[in-house]
Amino acid sequence: MSSAASAPTLAAVLWPTRNVALRALLLALAGSALLALSAKIQVPFWPVPMTMQTYVVLVLGMALGSRLGAATVALYLAEGAMGLPVFAGTPEKGLGLAYMMGPTGGYLLGFLVAAALVGWLAERGWDRGWPRALAAMIVGHAAIFLFGLAWLATFVGAEKAIALGLTPFWAATLAKTLLGVATMPLAWKIAAPRRL
């Protein structure tokens, strides 16, 4: 790995410890719970509800780094696959693997890819200032939509997938992107005294 990849994550700075495994376990559990909570904060749309999940996925990825961010999302997806009502619209719209194979399945996979991707960028310092944080948030949202729309298109076709799974969410995605851009550099300013 290059020296650029050695930048500490926000989580490592805020919670320095020698017991890295315990910290990772506790952060993954807390992060998966936060993702479940964010799935329940929603504005109803069909077929994909608008939630705070994309914001939480991207901020977790940036704060935890690529591996722990992806592991946290994977834990969340595993909880959902086991039938826990952690996803948006559950249990009303089904549970478990049947739900994951439905129209929102691609977005769920996109969460995993996006968390790893923005985590990788954060490990290279892209979460510390607003211009790069903005770029990282855009890349993360693009990954979520890429996987989500590709999967949704298998149900309704490409044109309808864009109309149902992208167009209604422009304003919300912009708002969540800007919120993420404000969150991460501010968190680093708060964490700065701990780095001394």
pLDDT (tens digit, 9 = 90+) per residue, 61-91? 999 999 999 999 999 999 999 999 999 888 9
43-47, 82-86, 100-104, 171-175: which has the minimum mean pLDDT? Answer: 43-47
pLDDT digits (tens, 9 = 90+) for 148-189: 999 999 999 999 999 999 998 888 899 899 999 999 999 999
- DSSP per-residue string spanning the chain: --GGGGPPPHHHHHS--S-HHHHHHHHHHHHHHHHHHHHHSEE--SSS-EESHHHHHHHHHHHH-HHHHHHHHHHHHHHHHTT-S-STTTTTT--HHHHHTSTTHHHHHHHHHHHHHHHHHHTTTTTSSHHHHHHHHHHHHHHHHHHHHHHHHHHH-HHHHHHHHTGGGHHHHHHHHHHHHHHHHHHHHHHGGGG-
Mean pLDDT of the residues in the chain: 91
Q: Where are the domains of the chain?
A: 52-191
36-50, 59-73, 110-124, 149-163: which has the minimum mean pLDDT? Answer: 36-50
- Evaluated on CA atoms 122, 128, 129, 134, the torsion sign reads positive
Say what the pLDDT of residue 2 is: 45
pLDDT above 90 covers a percentage of the chain that reads: 80
Q: Which residue has the higher pLDDT, 3 or 193?
A: 193
Binned at pLDDT 50, 70 and 90, residue 194 comes out as low
Q: Is the pLDDT of residue 141 over 60?
A: yes
The span from the CA of 107 to the CA of 49, in Å, is 11
Say what the pLDDT of residue 196 is: 46
Distances from the Cα of 80 to the Cαs of 55, 141, 147, 164, 177, in angstroms?
19, 21, 18, 24, 25
Say what the pTM is. Answer: 0.91
* CATH class held by domain 52-191: mainly alpha
